[in-house]
């Protein structure tokens, strides 16, 4: 039985007993619950609303990665610094302003910049604030990103989604990003 998207419970056929926790296959030494949660939390890459993202191409851009980030997220800043060493990737950055009202302001200003990728990079690398967005700028993409995140239970930033649908929460090191990009591209 599945609750809240990715929380798994086990029950008997009649529903008289309920077990919460990990189910381990002792012979194969596999955590079956973890495998199931990963499968249930996957997001089909072709279902991502890429038009609501900032497209950043590094090198030949052959590999693909989507990332949900908040401009006020310290872990995201560390992640972005590590990502500078990852090449030949197209990153679809979804501004995900969930850490407070100031996140909305910064996301709006970045989204409304002439060069969104540069504005994002400047903010994340050196805290250089982008110019204030004009009132006429359409920021409904930011609202859609938050709605998408809620629908798919994206509860923290950064959250990475690889081309094979694998989801990884947290600021993982570049080596792990490389490893997962290689696995998802094959």
> Where are the domain boundaries for CATH 3.40.30.10 in the chain?
45-185
Alpha helices per DSSP H over the chain: 32-41, 74-83, 101-111, 116-126, 140-151, 174-185
Give the per-residue pLDDT at 113.
Answer: 96
Question: Mean pLDDT of all residues in the chain?
Answer: 89
The yes or no reply on domain 45-185 and CATH 3.60.15.10 is: no
Give the per-residue pLDDT at 171.
Answer: 93
Give the per-residue pLDDT at 38.
Answer: 66
Give the per-residue pLDDT at 181.
Answer: 94
Give the per-residue pLDDT at 43.
Answer: 83
Question: pTM of the prediction?
Answer: 0.82
Confidence of residue 5 (pLDDT cuts 50, 70, 90): low
Q: Which residues, including other chains, have CB under 8 Å from residue 134's CB and lie 6 or more apart? A: 112
Nearest-angstrom CA–CA distance, 8 and 78: 32
Average pLDDT of the residues in 147-161:
92
Give the per-residue pLDDT at 2.
Answer: 44
Q: What is the per-residue pLDDT across 13-68, written as a single tens digit (0 to 9) for each?
A: 888 888 787 878 888 888 776 777 667 667 889 999 999 999 999 999 999 999 99
Q: Among residues of the chain, what percentage have pLDDT more than 70?
A: 92
């Amino acid at each position: 039985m599945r609750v809240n998207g990715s929380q798994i419970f086990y029950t008997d056929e009649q529903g008289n007993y309920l077990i919460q926790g990990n189910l381990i296959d002792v012979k194969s030494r596999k955590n079956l619950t973890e495998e199931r949660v990963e499968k249930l939390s996957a997001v089909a890459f072709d279902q991502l609303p890429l038009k609501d993202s900032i497209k950043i191409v590094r090198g030949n851009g052959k590999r693909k990665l989507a990332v949900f980030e908040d401009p006020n997220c310290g872990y995201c800043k560390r992640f972005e610094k590590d990502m500078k060493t990852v090449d030949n990737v197209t990153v679809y950055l979804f501004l995900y302003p969930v850490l407070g009202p100031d996140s909305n302001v910064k996301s709006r200003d970045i989204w409304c910049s002439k060069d969104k990728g540069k504005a994002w990079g400047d903010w994340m690398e050196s805290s250089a604030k982008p110019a204030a967005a004009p009132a006429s700028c359409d920021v409904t993409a930011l609202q859609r990103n938050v709605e998408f995140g809620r629908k798919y239970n994206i509860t923290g930033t950064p959250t990475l989604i690889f081309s094979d649908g694998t989801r990884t929460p947290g600021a993982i090191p570049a080596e792990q990003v490389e490893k997962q990009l290689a696995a998802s591209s094959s």
